[in-house]
């Protein structure tokens, strides 16, 4: 497995591979890898000849007071996991490589970025679109693999790629869960034992909503009430909503494309989860 920390060398490797008709799948990550990330690597390997993973804790998508400085960075372990999974190359840039002095051009995210996470974390998606656009320019991948746990992020990136004509296929991948239902997240490692029990209420709320839907319930407000009730042990619920899965705009009644989305704080840890209904 090759590792690169410089842009020119990373790009040259990709071009060399592509000149020999090798297709490339990119898996952008912030490291602290778990089974969710590794499932993306496997998916990339199954669809493309080569998999390039990126590990970069992107400062522009964190606001003041968020967890940038304490975000986990178990680099050696991450590299070992990627090696075992058969990733072909890893891009590990520093902050100075990605945001050198004088940096000042940002990709302004599409309107689908505005509700939900956009309300809770106003600058977040601008950081995401900017860094993902940069990665797509550095690594000219044929396809890019993103987990559906960050459901709104996936929509934001899909719209960006469509609007700016980026020549890459965005491949959404299923959420990977722990046996007890907790959605895998690098931030789960912040949770104490008791917080981890409380954190299960997110996936449980989504299952309850799905059960109600199977029982015939189609009123968004009823489903949301049920989710909020299930989340009562959380320290703060940023949102627990049923929205249109494409626009992320509120719906009154479920239709063929609805999704339930939750963001909640357990102790100092902010968790998100979702389920297509």
Distant-in-sequence contacts of 205-213, Cβ < 8 A, 24+ apart: 205/230, 205/231, 205/240, 205/262, 206/260, 206/262, 206/273, 206/274, 206/275, 207/181, 207/275, 209/242, 209/260, 209/275, 209/277, 210/260, 210/275, 210/277, 213/254, 213/277
User: Rounded CA gap, 50 and 89, in Å?
Assistant: 8
Contact flag: residue 110 with its own copies (CB under 8 A): yes
Catalytic sites, residue numbers: 37
Figure out which of the listed residues 37, 43, 45, 134 binds its own copies, where binding follows CB under 8 A.
134
Q: How many residues bind its own copies (CB under 8 A)?
A: 27
Interface with its own copies, residue 111, by CB under 8 A:
yes
- Near its own copies by CB under 8 A: residue from 39, 54, 130, 186: 130
Taking the complex as a whole, how short is the minimal distance between the CB of residue 105 and its own copies, in angstroms? 4
Q: How far is the CB of 250 from its own copies (least distance, A)?
A: 18
Smallest gap from Cβ 160 to its own copies, in A, equals 5
In this structure, what DSSP letter does residue 184 have? P
For its own copies, which is the closer residue by CB, 212 or 248?
248
Name which of 9, 24, 19, 2 is nearest 167 in CA terms: 24
Query: Does 32 carry a binding-site annotation?
Result: yes
35 labeled binding residue: yes
Of how many residues is the chain composed?
277
7 belongs to the binding site for its own copies (CB under 8 A): yes
Q: Between residues 108 and 192, which has the closer beta carbon with respect to its own copies?
A: 108
Residues lying near its own copies in the complex (CB under 8 A): 7, 11, 102-112, 129-130, 133-134, 137-138, 140, 159-160, 163-167
């Amino acid at each position: 497995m090759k590792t690169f920390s410089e842009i020119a060398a990373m790009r040259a490797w990709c071009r060399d591979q592509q000149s020999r008709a090798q297709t490339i799948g990119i898996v952008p990550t912030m490291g602290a890898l778990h089974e969710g990330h590794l499932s993306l690597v496997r998916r990339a390997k199954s669809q493309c000849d080569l998999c390039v993973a990126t590990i970069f804790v992107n400062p522009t998508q964190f606001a003041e007071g968020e967890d940038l400085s304490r975000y986990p960075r178990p680099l050696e372990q991450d590299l070992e996991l990627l090696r075992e999974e058969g990733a072909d190359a890893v891009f590990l840039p520093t902050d100075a490589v990605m945001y050198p002095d004088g940096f000042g051009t940002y990709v302004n995210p599409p309107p689908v970025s505005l509700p939900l996470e956009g309300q809770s974390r106003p600058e977040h998606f601008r950081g995401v679109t900017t860094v993902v656009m940069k990665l797509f320019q550095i690594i000219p991948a044929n396809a890019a693999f993103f987990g559906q746990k960050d459901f709104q992020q996936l929509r934001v990136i899909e719209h960006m790629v469509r609007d700016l004509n980026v020549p890459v296929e965005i491949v959404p991948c299923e959420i990977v869960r722990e046996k007890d239902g907790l959605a895998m997240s690098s931030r789960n490692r912040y949770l104490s034992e008791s917080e981890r029990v409380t954190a299960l209420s997110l996936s449980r709320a989504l299952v309850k909503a799905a059960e109600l839907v199977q029982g015939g319930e189609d009123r968004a407000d009823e489903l949301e009430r049920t989710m909020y009730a299930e989340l009562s042990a959380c320290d703060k619920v940023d949102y627990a909503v049923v929205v249109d899965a494409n626009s992320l705009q509120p719906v009154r009644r479920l239709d063929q494309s609805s999704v339930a989305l939750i963001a909640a704080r357990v102790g100092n840890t902010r968790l998100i989860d979702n389920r297509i209904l």
